[in-house]
Amino acid sequence: MKTSLLSIPAILALSTAAVQAEEVRVYNWSDYIDESLLEKFEQETGLDLVYDVFDSNEVLETKMLAGGSGYDVVVPTGTFLQRQITAGAFQKLDVAKLPNLANMWDVVSSRTEQYDPENAYSINYMWGTTGIGVNLGKVKELLGEDAPIDSWELVFNPENMEKLATCGVHFLDAPSEMIPAALKYIGEDPNSHDPEVIAKVEPVYMAVRPHIQKFHSSEYINALANGDICVAVGWSGDILQARDRAAEAENGVEIAYNAPKEGAQMWFDQMAIPVDAPNPDGAHTFLNFIMDAQNMAAASNYVYYANGNLASQEFLVEDVKGDPAIYPSPAALDNLFTTTPYDPKVQRVVTRLWTAIKSGV
């Protein structure tokens, strides 16, 4: 909720400035690129790059369905991409303009086909998991050496949460990921679209709700790194960025990320071109630039997310390529699940449930 205000300046900027042909407007997730790549793109192509950020798929989807967003490249997550393709929000990619498609990794593109058949509308930017980040020192101090940091027990068991509340817990404000996680915890199908099954997560959340400091989808990076909170349910790379920031600050905070052993959600952020993009040629130029092996590697090395680009792997630093939290082993991959989009009726049940969980009404 609060975060989406980030986009208000963007809306204002768009409504006042006339769209010029030599501009490429990209709308990507916050903290999701090495910003030196943006300058490099402008220098290499001579195009002006306008780069805005969001932190919620819902906000992006509203803009895509309203039309006239003014963006040339947007980055929805797979399930949202699928809905928006159905709604006719994107244009097919012109493969002839994307020679770097040869760099892509079939392990990822075969998985993204469930959202975008034949990958006709999108390329994979990055992918990751939704799991738990902890401040090792504080959590072990409160819960002991054998704290279940690799299990959903840590955040869904009220006994653990009661103790953790003293040092602060953040949850993602993203029902399409938090509800599957709670379903997995109680042993239900995380991809269930049955309202009765989905309703079973309500008591789980109501029991831990008083101990959750905030539902927010981007503040936890800094909060974890500064030591303001000790647990965050968040996205893999974001938590690894927090780990990195804490290490750089040398403030004694040690962060660890785990995809819970019961099973964690695997998601794919896909770059696509809106059907009404003002500059589709520039958009293709940007996609091709991003799919360059060295550029993609630079982005991954910076944000600690795995990408869908095979050729980039030789340029990845060992910290990224060798970290099983970023590039899981084939066995660990089997333990990750994916979800499919809710239809509008179920979506309403999900959002209403989430409002009840967040506000208690």
| 210 lies in the binding site for another protein (CB under 8 A) | no
Instruction: Select from 13, 44, 88, 99 the one that contacts another protein (CB under 8 A).
Output: 88
| 170 lies in the binding site for another protein (CB under 8 A) | no
Distance CA 69, CA 54 (A): 13
| 358 lies in the binding site for another protein (CB under 8 A) | yes
Q: How far is the CB of 359 from another protein (least distance, A)?
A: 5
Residues 11, 69 contacting (CB under 8 angstroms): no
Distance CA 189, CA 147 (A): 26
Q: How far is the CB of 351 from another protein (least distance, A)?
A: 5
Instruction: Select from 78, 133, 175, 180 the one that contacts another protein (CB under 8 A).
Output: 175
Distance CA 50, CA 53 (A): 10
Instruction: Select from 58, 254, 262, 281 the one that contacts another protein (CB under 8 A).
Output: 58
Collect all residues with Cβ–Cβ distance below 8 Å to 325 and sequence separation of at least 6: 236, 240, 257, 258, 259
Residues in binding contact with another protein, number by CB under 8 A: 36
Distance CA 196, CA 240 (A): 35
Distance CA 254, CA 245 (A): 10
| 77 lies in the binding site for another protein (CB under 8 A) | no
Amino acid at 184: K
Instruction: Select from 52, 55, 61, 116 the one that contacts another protein (CB under 8 A).
Output: 61
Instruction: Select from 20, 294, 340, 355 the one that contacts another protein (CB under 8 A).
Output: 355
Contacts with another protein, 293-332, as mask; x by CB under 8 A? ----------------------------------------
Instruction: Select from 10, 24, 49, 64 the one that contacts another protein (CB under 8 A).
Output: 64
| 226 lies in the binding site for another protein (CB under 8 A) | no
| 251 lies in the binding site for another protein (CB under 8 A) | no
Instruction: Select from 18, 21, 66, 331 the one that contacts another protein (CB under 8 A).
Output: 66
Distance CA 348, CA 66 (A): 19
Amino acid at 68: G
From the CB of residue 361, how many other CB atoms can be counted at a distance below 10 Å?
5
Chain-centroid distance, C-alpha 201: 22
Instruction: Select from 152, 215, 220, 235 the one that contacts another protein (CB under 8 A).
Output: 215
The string of DSSP codes covering 340-358 is -PPPHHHHHHHHHHHHHHH
Q: How far is the CB of 325 from another protein (least distance, A)?
A: 29
Q: What three-state secondary structure class fits 58?
A: helix
How many CA within 13 A on the CB side of residue 123?
28
In the complex, the residues that contact another protein under the rule CB under 8 A are 1-2, 4-5, 8-9, 56, 58-59, 61-62, 64-67, 83, 86-89, 175, 214-215, 275, 343-344, 347-348, 351-352, 354-355, 358-361
